[in-house]
Chains A and B, each alone.
Chain A
Amino acid sequence: MPRAKKRITRLPFYQWLAIELSLIALLSFGWSFENRLAGYSAFIGGLIYVIPNAYFAHRMFRFEGARQARLVVGNMFRAESIKLALTAVFFAAVFILIEPIHVSALLFTFAVMVALSPLLRWFIRPQPQR
Chain B
Amino acid sequence: MEMVFIAAALIIGLGALGAGIGFGLLGGKLLESTARQPELGNQLQTKAFIMAGLLDAVPMIGVGIAMYLIFVVAG
Q: Which positions in A face B, CB cutoff 8 Å?
A: 8-9, 48-49, 56-57, 60-61, 64-67, 69-70, 72-73, 76-77, 80, 83-84, 87-88, 91-92, 95-96, 103, 107, 110-111, 114-115, 117-118, 121-122, 125-126, 128
Q: Find chain A residues with CB under 8 A from B35 CB.
A: 66, 69
Q: Which positions in B face A, CB cutoff 8 Å?
A: 12, 16, 19, 23, 26-27, 30-31, 34-35, 38-39, 41-43, 45-46, 48-50, 52-54, 56-57, 59-61, 63-68, 70-72, 75
Contact across chains for A95 and B71 when beta carbons are under 8 A apart = yes
Contact across chains for B75 and A95 when beta carbons are under 8 A apart = yes
Q: Find chain A residues with CB under 8 A from B27 CB.
A: 73, 76-77
Q: Find chain B residues with CB under 8 A from A8 CB.
A: 42
Instruction: Find B65's partner among A66, A96, A107 (CB 8 Å cutoff).
Output: A107
Contact across chains for B61 and A110 when beta carbons are under 8 A apart = yes
Instruction: Find A91's partner among B41, B42, B57, B67 (CB 8 Å cutoff).
Output: B67
Q: Find chain B residues with CB under 8 A from A65 CB.
A: 41-42
- Taking the closest CB of chain B, its distance from the CB of A101, in whole angstroms, is 9
Chain B interface mostly helix, strand, loop or mixed?
Answer: helix
Bound CA span A87–B26, Å:
22
Bound CA span A107–B73, Å:
14
Contact across chains for B68 and A91 when beta carbons are under 8 A apart = yes
User: Closest A-chain residue to B67, C-beta based?
Assistant: A91
Q: Find chain B residues with CB under 8 A from A107 CB.
A: 64-65, 68
Contact across chains for A87 and B63 when beta carbons are under 8 A apart = yes
Contact across chains for B42 and A87 when beta carbons are under 8 A apart = no
Bound CA span A118–B51, Å:
8
Contact across chains for A66 and B38 when beta carbons are under 8 A apart = yes
For B35, B41, B70, B75, which residue has the most chain A Cβ atoms within 10 angstroms?
B41
